[in-house]
Every structure is written in structure tokens, then in C-alpha cells.
Amino acid sequence: MLKGKRILITAGPTKEFIDPVRFISNASSGKMGYAIAEELYSKGAEVILITGPTNIRCNLPDTKVVHVTTALEMLKACRHYFGSVDIAIFTAAVADYRPLNRELSKIKKNDDTMVVELTKNPDIAFEFGKVKDPHQLSIGFALETDNIIEYGKGKMNKKKFDFIVLNTTNENGEGFGFDTNKISILFRDHAVKSFPLKSKKEVAKDIISELESQIKNIEVH
């Protein structure tokens, strides 16, 4: 069912530089996105993995991986593929903000405090949602600490996701940095399917199984 499908996956964090040695980022390891990309590739999908900086040894061919650093670089890379993919899966933890001005030289430690003015980064999944065709599927990810379902509904509607994968950092073993994860999947009809804590490789299989169900429903109708 996935063989020959052209699928874009974003993974990992982005780094938004304040000066040549300091940056804003987050704790995303990229493990979830890489696990999904590798599972899809094993099923015969035409995978394009666009990844921020990670320490992961990737099992995909080099031609299937695009390395970026910043949110703007990730958006540019994604836009190159938006029109040609069947499915887009947005697992990357893209920084919401970047420094308004990046200093060309290292900032010296002179004052007791320092103010960094930030400006909002573009929302890559939202940009895809604005241009996606009816045949294209979009899957989102959201890590929340509270009001998980309500925030998930808002993101799904705004970004035109076909379903969204939700998780939190409230329990040990889920969220950023772990080899395991505990997810719930929120669908467009607001149905929720929850899964127990599993390895991220097993979580990837669960997500892809739901994706295959979505594709099957589209083909039937």
C-alpha cells in the first residue's frame, strides 16, 4: 500500500543562532522521525527525510536525507518537495522563535543580564496545509504538557492535518530524548486512539498502520 508513495518526513530540532557559538534549540533527539522514515523505507515508500541536527546514525541512503540547521532552512527544503509528495509527516520540533538579529561575532560577557529579541519562525506544517491538494495527506505531531486534546484539535484544524500524534513529557520514558514513547492519535472526527509506552520503533509501526488505514479509506471512496 505504501510502495511507491512519495513521503516527506521532518525530524529533529532546529538551531537558531544568537551569535556564532550560541543558539536556541530544544531537547528533540530526532529518534521518532528517523524511526518512521526507516520503517516507511522498508515498506517500499519513496522517502525524503529532512532533518535538523541530530546524533543519529541513519540507515537511509544519503540521497534520501536532507540535512538542515535552522527553521528557515527546513522550510526552504520542504517547499522544494511539497508539490511532489503524497504524504507529509511533520515530526520535527521546529523552534517557534529565532533571534531577530544574529550577531556576527561572539557576544562578550560584560553585563549581568542580556536581552535577546526574538521573532516568530514560520510554521512549516501550516505552510503545507495552505497548499496541499485533496489527494495529499498530512500528519502532525504535538508535544504538550496540559490540555493535550484541546490543543491537538486546534492544531489539526489550523494546519489541516488528517490526524495528529499527541504525547507529553508528564511520565518517564515519553517525549524528547528517550528510546520509548507513549502516544495518542487524534483523528479529524475527534476520535482518540491511545497506545501504551513502547519503543519508538514500535510506535512508528503503530503510526504507519494508522496511515495505511487512512490511505485505504481514501482508495475505497
Residues taking part in catalysis:
26
Residue 55 CB partners (closer than 8 Å, separation 6+): 29
What is the C-alpha separation between 89 and 92, in angstroms, rounded?
9
Does residue 184 contact residue 194 with C-beta atoms inside 8 Å?
Answer: yes
| Residue type (1 letter), 42 | S
- Helices 71-82 and 124-131: angle between axes, nearest 10 degrees: 20
Q: Return the C-alpha cell found at 64.
A: 534520501
What is the C-alpha separation between 14 and 11, in angstroms, rounded?
9
What is the C-alpha separation between 24 and 18, in angstroms, rounded?
7
What is the C-alpha separation between 104 and 150, in angstroms, rounded?
41
